[in-house]
Amino acid sequence: MYDVNKVRADFPILAREVNGQPLTYLDNGASAQKPQAVIDAVTRGYDNEYANVHRGLHYLSNLSTDRYEAVRGIIARFLNAGSEDEIILNSGTTEGINMVAYSWAAPRMVEGDEIVLSTMEHHANIVPWHFLRERQGVRLVWVDPEPDGSLDPAKVLAAITPRTRLVAVTHCSNVLGTVVDVKTIVAGAHDKGVPVLVDGSQGAVHMKVDVQDIGADFYPITGHKLYGPSGSGAIYVRAERLAEMQPFMGGGDMIREVTKDAVSYADPPMKFEAGTPAIVPTIGLGVALEYLMDLGMDNVAAHEARLASYARERFKALNWLNIQGDAPGKAAIFSMTVEGGAHAHDISTILDKKGIAVRAGHHCAQPLMEHLGVPATARASFALYNTEAEVDRLVEGLELCHRLFS
Amino acid sequence: MATEAFEELAEDFEFLDDWEDRYAHVIELGKAMPPLEDALKVPATKVDGCASQVWLMPEIENGTFRFRGDSDALIVRGIVAVLTRLYNGVPVDEVPKIDAAAELGRLGLHEHLSAQRSNGLRAMVERINKLALEAV
């Protein structure tokens, strides 16, 4: 039995007040709070176990390296990667996708080649591809979501042409909460010989992910959304693709040998990890993922599904509230507008006064906002520690917004 | 002593004792303010540095500062309306001497002082001061 109150007790920040009200933290889509175990690991990392990794032969360097390298295995287990050598540690999904653009896509794409994207991608899964459009004449081919916010895999696959070199699609929309059937998309794209990048920034937070089952070629994740420290993250890259990738950033740690005339590289994944990494945040991420696996991602997903269906039920009674996206099985992410002229910033300002944290704006998904025809929304995104009582508090806050603004 | 219009506003706010009432009043002030014509919502009048969109249109005559403004967010529109009462009718050389944060504090809108970046109060006041200085 999932005991949400026990879970909440693991997150010290949830006990604080904001504006004289108990904190109701519903901005998890932007970044999640950290359990005590992660906070302790970060503190321990600095106060007792810190040194650079992979370099020294002294005691602390070895300890730090052991702790850091263990995280690769933890991530491989979390994503069910075939091998921990397919896990590249980095600062998160943005870096992961940029690396794919520079290391894998740019060297193999020419003018007129195509990348298929959904309209509901986050800017992190758009802008790196725009770079290729600007610099190399690559064409971006967009697939719109259905009116309910779902993404039809058949439409994604129908957008593939002989010039398609990559499909890049989110596992879970950060605005609509739509969970995309990436397995079907990957299978269909692979039939046509096209690799697929699945943006796991939100998906890995809300459900159990098996990258081998999905078949993804690239699956980036973001540590700070996974209850780990900011500055941590990783990307799963299938061994086949890893072998095709050129180094991205050059520097320490990624080399075998450097002379005045030549350079040879370390084997993957080190080949793609230049410079001193975010050592302690990465160690913290390992602890966060262990925490999630101890809870069980299926249990987390079930808890969030209960919250989502309760929230949908409560929102239904508010006939002045518009929720963007109602795809079956959507994650507990609700982008809202209130009828009566209130701007998303108005809503978030009033909710903040009630101690409720939501995000207001375009959510780094401007093409989607344009498609939806709304300039901005207020987004409530739930996490494993949120409760039905917090849904009630949100509804009260929204009712106050409706009273004030209509 | 601020303008008469602002002092009247401060008196109104004295009767509002909780934040909901103060916000409701700010929102009402925003709703009552005539909107800026779309033709005037151009890059030149737009104030950068606000989370929502804000436009300020100066109307300075004979050394007296006046402006009109607008925003797509209702609370920010209300703050613009408050600022019109604070600044309109003030001699241009007096405009930069006004401590807008302190004056809004008198209305009990303190949180707008700590959240200056997000609601753009600072950016609006900077724009007002710049417009006044250009007119001196």
Quote the CA–CA distance of A179 and B130 in Å, as a whole number.
49
- Smallest CA–CA distance, residue A320 to chain B, in Å, is 17
Tokens of B125: 């006041």
Residue spans of beta strands (DSSP E) within A82-181: 87-90, 114-118, 139-143, 164-170
- Six token digits for residue A123: 């800017």
**Nearest C-alpha of chain A: how many angstroms from B73?**
5
Contact present, A11 and A34 (Cβ < 8 Å): yes
Question: What DSSP state is assigned to residue A267?
Answer: P
Whether A217 and A92 map to the same domain: the answer is yes
How many Å from the N-terminal Cα to the C-terminal Cα in chain A?
42
Contact call for residues A301 and A1 (beta carbons, < 8 A): no
> From residue A37, how far is each of A17, A68, A220, A329, A396 by CA, in Å?
22, 16, 24, 31, 33
pLDDT in tens, B25-43: 999 999 999 999 999 999 9
- Is B17 near chain A, with CB under 8 Å? no
Which range marks the domain in which residue A283 is found?
39-294
Task: Identify which has the larger pLDDT, A137 or B73.
Answer: A137
pLDDT for A306 equals 97
Which stretches within A117-202 are classed as H helix?
127-136, 153-158, 182-191
Kindly state whether B4 is in contact with chain A, defined as any CB-CB distance less than 8 angstroms: no
Identity of the amino acid at B47: V
Are A190 and A57 found together in one domain?
A: yes
Q: How far is A20 from chain B (nearest CA, A)?
A: 12
CB B103 within 8 A of CB B86: yes
Q: Which of A243, A263, A294 is the last residue of a domain?
A: A294
Nearest to B73 among A19, A343, A353 (CB): A343
Catalytic residue status for B50: yes
Q: What is the pLDDT of residue A341?
A: 80
Which chain B residues are Cβ-neighbours of A361 within 8 angstroms? 51
Are both A289 and A323 inside the same structural domain? no
Predicted local distance difference test score (pLDDT) of residue B112? 59
The CATH number of whichever domain residue A302 belongs to comes to: 3.90.1150.10
| pLDDT tens-place string over residues B69-97 | 999 889 999 999 999 999 999 999 999 99
Residues A52 and A16 in one domain: no
Q: Is the pLDDT of residue A348 over 80?
A: yes
Please tell me the distance in Å from A375's CA to the nearest CA on chain B.
10
Tokens encoding A115: 């990348």
pLDDT over threshold 90, residue B118: no
Residue A105 and residue A204 share a domain: yes
Q: Beta A218-222 vs A24-25: how paired, if at all?
A: unpaired
Q: Residue A7 is which amino acid?
A: V
Q: Which of B19, B24, B72 lies at the smallest CB-CB distance from A343?
A: B72
Please answer yes or no on whether B23 and A353 come within 8 Å at the CB atom: yes
B119/A342 CB distance under 8 A: no
CATH number of the domain that residue A102 is part of = 3.40.640.10
Confidence band (pLDDT; 50, 70, 90) for B115?
Answer: low
Domains of chain B: 4-135 (3.90.1010.10)
Tokens of A390: 């917090």
* Closest A-chain CA to B112: A349
- Over residues B110-114, the mean pLDDT reads 60
A191 and A177 within one domain: yes
- Do A290 and A301 lie in a common domain? no
In DSSP terms, A357 is beta-bridged to A25
Average pLDDT over residues B38-67: 90
The single residue of A287, A364, A369, A376 carrying the catalytic annotation is A364
Residues A104 and A174 grouped into a single domain: yes
Determine the 3-state secondary structure of A145 from DSSP. coil
Task: Give the domain-ending residue among A237, A259, A294.
Answer: A294
State whether A404 and B27 contact (CB < 8 Å): yes
In this prediction, residue B136 has a pLDDT band, given cuts at 50, 70 and 90, of confident
Task: Please name which of A184, A181, A224 lies closest in space to residue A201, comparing C-alpha atoms.
Answer: A224
Q: What residues of chain A lie within 8 A of the CB of B75, using their CB?
A: 345-346, 349-350
Whether the per-residue pLDDT at A86 is higher than 70: the answer is yes
Question: Could you tell me if A152 and A53 lie in one domain?
Answer: yes
Residues of chain B in contact with residue A345, where contact means CB-CB under 8 angstroms, are 51-52, 73, 75-76, 118-119
A376 → chain B, closest CA residue = B52
Chain A residues with CB within 8 Å of chain B CB: 19, 341-343, 345-346, 349-350, 353, 360-361, 375-376, 400, 404-405
Choose the final residue of a domain: A294, A319, A339: A294
Interface check for B20 against chain A (CB to CB < 8 A): the answer is yes
Chain CA centroid to CA A116, Å? 19
Q: Does this model's pTM top 0.90?
A: yes
SS3 content of chain A, % helix, strand, coil (to 5): 45, 15, 40
